[in-house]
Structure 1
C-alpha cells in the first residue's frame, strides 16, 4: 500500500520577524523542515510532497542541497488560503490509493515511531488524528467528541478562532497531523468550503465529512508534548532548541557519557562516544564527531567533523573544525587550551598541541610537540619533533601552497620561519630566530640570523615640543 507524506511548509511565519522562511530556522543544527523530511523518509514514505509558498525557491533549494532523497517533490501554494487549500495543491501528485500522512514543516521533533503509529491507526481505511491533552490549549483546534467521555467518538475539530467559550475549555487538541485514506482524502478536499471567520479552507473540516460518510475517526497520541510543539516565534524556537538538546543529552548519558551539566550542552550533528567519555560544560558538537574510549573534552570547546581517538584530552576553549576533509586526534594526544585544528589536521598518538597553536592540512607523528604560539600548515612532522614557540611554516607564496617536511627528532627553536618547500633532516636542530629557506641537513645545527650589531651613541627619536 502506497504511503505519501505531505508536509505543509508554505507559511511566512510573521511572528519570527525574519527575512528567512520560518521552516528554514534551525533546531540542533538542522532546519525545522529538514527534521520533518528526514522523519518522513525514515517511516518508509514512497513519496514526500513538500508544499511551499513563502520563500518557496529558497526553501526548495535548501532542502534539495541538504537532502538528496529519492521521491522528494515540491508543490507550491500561491496564494496561501488555508491548510485545506494547501493539501489541495498536492492532490494531482498523490497516489490513486493507499495512505496520505500529513505533517507540518514547523513541527520538527515528531518521532518516527509516532508517525508510524498514526499510519498504522489509519490502516488505509480510517481517519487517524494525532491528538494531545494540554493544560493550556490556546490557539489549537479542539477535538469535539460525542458526550463527555475522553474516548467518545470524534465528531469534528473546531479551530480556536471559531470555537465557542464552552468548546475552548476542551483540553484535547489537534496537533495538525493526520493520516487519511488517500482516495477518501481527495473526495473530501473537493468538498471543502471557506465559510468561516478567516475565509480559509480548513483541512480539519474533513473530520466532519468522515463522520457524515461513516468513516471511523480514531486518535493516536505522541509520547510527549515536545513532539508536537510548533515554532511561531523566536521564544518558541529557543524553547524547542533546549528541549531537543536535553533529549540528546539524556540519550548520551543513558549510554554512559558523563556530561558535567546536560543543560549546557549542544549537539548540532551526530556524536558517537565510546566508554568513559567526559564532556565539560558549554561544548558544541557539529557535523560528524566520534569520541573514543576515555576521551575528555574540556569546557567551552567547539568540535566539528572530527575523530578523536581513545584517551585523548581536549583542553578548554579548543576549536576543531575539520570541514569536509575532517580532522583527527590520535590516542593519548593532548590538545589545547586555546588550540585550533583546521581541515586536514591529523595528529598521531601522544602528540601535544598547546595554547594558541594552529594546525592545518598537516600530519604529526607519534610524540611530536608544538606547545606554544605556533603555526603548522601543509606540513609533515615526524616522531618526537619539538616545534618551538612562535615558529611558523610559511606555506603560501601568494599563488600556491607548498609543503614543509620535518623529519623525526628535529628540534625547531623559538620564532623560526620555515619557508616551504623545505625539508629539515632527521635529528636536525634549527636555532631560534632562524629563517630557513633551504633544506637543513640531518643531525646538524642550522642557524640563519643576521649579525647582531650595536650602534654606539644612537639616540631614540624625540617628539618635537609643542609650540606655545
Structure 2
C-alpha cells in the first residue's frame, strides 16, 4: 500500500437503547471497550493515526481508550451532534491531504483487518470505496443505488428512500475509504435538507458521482463484521459471535475445547500443543498455557503463565493482576484453589482444595493440599504444609515474610507468625503457634497442655 491511512472512528453517540450511564462505545466485548476493538483493528491495517470523534460522555470515552503501539491517537469533539457528515467535519482539520481516510464506527467491533485491507486496496488512494452488505431485511439501513452498469450512484437513507428504493437489499455498512483531499472538498458542500435535518456523510457519494469520480463498492456476506451494538441484547449476541471466533481460531491450532459455545477469552490466550479446556473456563488479561495443560470446568484464570503438563482442577481461581502468577511444570492445582498476584510455583507443586497462595514462592515438590493460606512466604523444596495451617503475615500495619526451608513438615492447624523462619528438615507439631525461628532438623511444638476431666457432665437446659 503506497498511501498513508488515517482512521476516523465515529464515537459521539449517546446509545440511548443501552439504558446505561456509560457511553455506548465503552461497553465491553471480550474484555475490551467496543471502540478499543476498532482502534486495535485499525492498527492491523498499519494506520498512521486514529482520530476518535467524541460527543456524549466525551471525557469518559477519551480517558477509556488507548493507542495501539506505534500509532498516533487523538480526539476531536462533536458538540452538538448534527449527523454523520457533521461528525467527520470535526476531524477534517487534523487529517493530512496526502492520505486516505478510513471511516469506521466505534460500536462495530468485529470488523476483520483483511476486509478493511480489501476496501483500502479497492480505494487505491484514488477512489471513494464503500463497504456494503446484502441483507434479507435491510430495514433501517441506507440503500446502495446502482446504475444500469452496476456502478454506485448514491446511498439513500431509510427515511428518505422511495418505496422502490426500500426494496433494495444491498446496504451501506457505515464504513468507507476515501482520499482525504477529496473528502475535504465534499464535506464542505454538505447540507441538511433531508427528513432528519442532519448532515449525512453518505451525501459524499452523490458529490463524487457528480464530479465524475468513480465510486467503488466492496460487498461482503459476513454480517457479523458490520453488526453494530445498540442494545444489551445486541451486545450479548456479538459477545457470543466474538467468543465463537476465538474458539474456532484456537481449535484450528489444535486446542481441544469441550464445548466452544461455553468458552470465554477476555484478553489474550496463548496455547501450546495438546491443551485441553473444559466448559465455562474464562481467561482474561494475558494467559499462556504450555504443552499438555488441562483446564477443568468453571476455572477463572487471568494474567498467568502455566507451564507444560499442569492440571488445573475445576473451580480454580487464578488472578495475577499486575504481578502475575507462574505455575511450574507438572503441578496440580485445585479444585477450589486460589492463586493470587505474586504466586510463583515451581515444578510438581500441589495446591489443593481451598488453599490460597499470595505473593509466595513454592519450590519444586512443595505441597499444600487442604484448607491453607500461604501469604508473603518463601517455601523450599518438598515442604508439606498441613491442612488448616496459615502464615500470619499481617500485624495490622505491615506485611512480613515467612521462610520455610526445604523438607519442612508443618502439621495441621498451625499458625506461623511472621517474620519467622523454619530451618530445613524441621517439623512443626499440629496445632502449634510458631513465632520464633526454628533450627534445622528440629521439632517445634507450641500448644497448651491437654487436660482431661473424668465423668464430666455437660450443662443441661433448664426446664420452663
Q: 2:73 matched to 1:72?
A: yes
TM-score by length of 1: 0.96
Partner of 1:337: 335
Aligned to 2:65, what secondary structure does the other structure show? helix
Residues 84 and 202 of structure 1 are in contact (CA less than 8 Å); yes or no, is this contact kept in structure 2? yes
Task: Report how many residues are paired.
Answer: 462
Deviations for 1:322-378, whole angstroms, at most 9, x for unmatched residues? 001100111110000000000011111111000000001111111111000000001
Q: Where does 1:105-254 land on structure 2 (aligned, <5 Å)? A: 105-147=106-148, 152-222=150-220, 224-254=222-252
Deviations for 1:424-452, whole angstroms, at most 9, x for unmatched residues? 11111100000000011211211000112
2:63 to 61, 79, 82: 61
Listed as ranges, the gaps of 5+ residues in structure 2 are none
Shift of 1:70: 4.1
Aligned to 1:288, what secondary structure does the other structure show? strand
> How many angstroms apart in 1 are the aligned matches of 2:237 and 2:32?
15
Residues 358 and 374 of structure 1 are in contact (CA less than 8 Å); yes or no, is this contact kept in structure 2? yes
Q: 2:401 matched to 1:399?
A: no
> How many angstroms apart in 2 are the aligned matches of 1:259 and 1:345?
27
Residues 134 and 219 of structure 2 are in contact (CA less than 8 Å); yes or no, is this contact kept in structure 1? no
Listed as ranges, the gaps of 5+ residues in structure 1 are none
Partner of 1:28: 30
Bigger drift between 386-395 and 160-169 goes to 160-169
Deviations for 1:110-155, whole angstroms, at most 9, x for unmatched residues? 11111122122111211100001112211111100113x7xx0111
Considering only aligned residues, what root-mean-square deviation do their CA atoms show, in Å?
A: 1.5
> How many angstroms apart in 1 are the aligned matches of 2:99 and 2:309?
53
Shift of 1:165: 2.0
Residues 27 and 34 of structure 2 are in contact (CA less than 8 Å); yes or no, is this contact kept in structure 1? yes
Partner of 1:289: 287
> How many angstroms apart in 2 are the aligned matches of 1:230 and 1:124?
27
Q: Where does 1:422-461 land on structure 2 (aligned, <5 Å)? A: 422-454=420-452
Q: Where does 1:311-350 land on structure 2 (aligned, <5 Å)? A: 311-350=309-348
Shift of 1:397: 0.8
> How many angstroms apart in 2 are the aligned matches of 1:69 and 1:176?
26
> How many angstroms apart in 1 are the aligned matches of 2:68 and 2:118?
25
Aligned to 2:284, what secondary structure does the other structure show? strand
Q: Which runs of 4+ in 1 moved over 3 A?
A: 66-70, 454-466
Partner of 2:100: 99
> How many angstroms apart in 2 are the aligned matches of 1:76 and 1:229?
24
